[in-house]
Amino acid sequence: MVVGEIWRYPVKSMGGEQLDATVLTADGIPGDRVVHARDARDVLTARSHPALLGFHGTLGPDDEPLVEGQPWSSEAVAARLRHAVGPDVRLAPFDGPERFDVLPLLVATDGAIAKLAMDRRRFRPNILVTGVPGDAERSWPGKRLRIGAAVIGVASLRQRCVMTTYDPDTQVQDVSILRRIVREAGGRLGLDCRVIEPGRVAVGDPVEVLEG
C-alpha cells in the first residue's frame, strides 16, 4: 500500500489542490481549511451551498490562500462569491480546531471507493491510500498507520453526508449517491484520523498498518 494522492483544501468546502508532498502536523496538513465562507449568522458549507464546490482554493508562494488564483480577501473573489453563492456570503480566516468537521485528517482508500465505483473527489480525502484490497479500511479504526515519516491514529469510519451527492465538476446533485453509500457501506467511508507522530509524507510513500 502506498500514498496515491495528497489533497489540501485551503478554503473549506471549495475544491482543493493536489500536492506531491507535505508535512503532517498535529493540525493535519498545513494550510488546510484555514479560510471559510460565512454569512452574518454562521459558517456556510457546500452541504447547504453547493456552489462553493465550483471554486478552487490553493496556497500561494507566501502561504496565503488563493481562490481561482486570486487573493482570498480580494474584492474580485468576494464579488464572484456573492454572485454564485448569495449576497451575504463573505470569506474569513478560520484557524481553530473547529474548522475540521471531525478530526484534522481524512484518509480514504482506493479499494473501498472502487467497490462503489464513484469519483474519489466526492469524498474529499486529505490522503488517498492505493493498493488497499476491497473494504479493508473497515478494520482499521483503533489502529495506527505509518505513512512515510509520520504515524497517524485511526479513530473511526467517516459518516458521509449530502456533500457526496454533488458532482465535483458540475455541482449537479444525484441523491442516489448517498443512498448507495448507506445501502452498500452503512453510510460510512473513509477514516477520521489524528496525527500521532508528525513527519513528511509524499506520494509513493509506503503505508503500513500498525496495531493500536
Classify each residue of 31-47 as buried b or exposed e, where b means 16 or more C-beta atoms within 10 Å of its C-beta: bbbbbbbbeeeeebbbe
pLDDT at 63: 93
pLDDT at 190: 97
Residue stretches of the chain with pLDDT short of 50: none
Tally the C-alpha atoms within 13 A of residue 210's C-alpha that lie toward its C-beta: 13
pLDDT at 167: 95
Cell numbers representing residue 123 in the block: 469524498
pLDDT at 21: 98
What domains appear along the chain, each with residue ranges and CATH number? 2-27+100-210 (2.40.33.20), 35-97 (no CATH)
- Can you tell me the distance from the alpha carbon of 212 to that of 209, in angstroms, rounded to the nearest whole number? 9
Spatial neighbors of 2 by CB under 8 A, at least 6 apart, are 129, 130, 131, 204, 205, 206, 207
Neighbouring C-beta atoms of residue 107, cutoff 10 Å: 22
Sign of CA dihedral 128, 152, 16, 88: positive
pLDDT per residue as tens digits for the range 148-185: 999 999 999 999 999 999 999 999 999 999 999 999 99
Q: Which amino acid is at 174?
A: D
pTM above 0.85, yes or no: yes
pLDDT per residue as tens digits for the range 186-198: 999 999 999 999 9
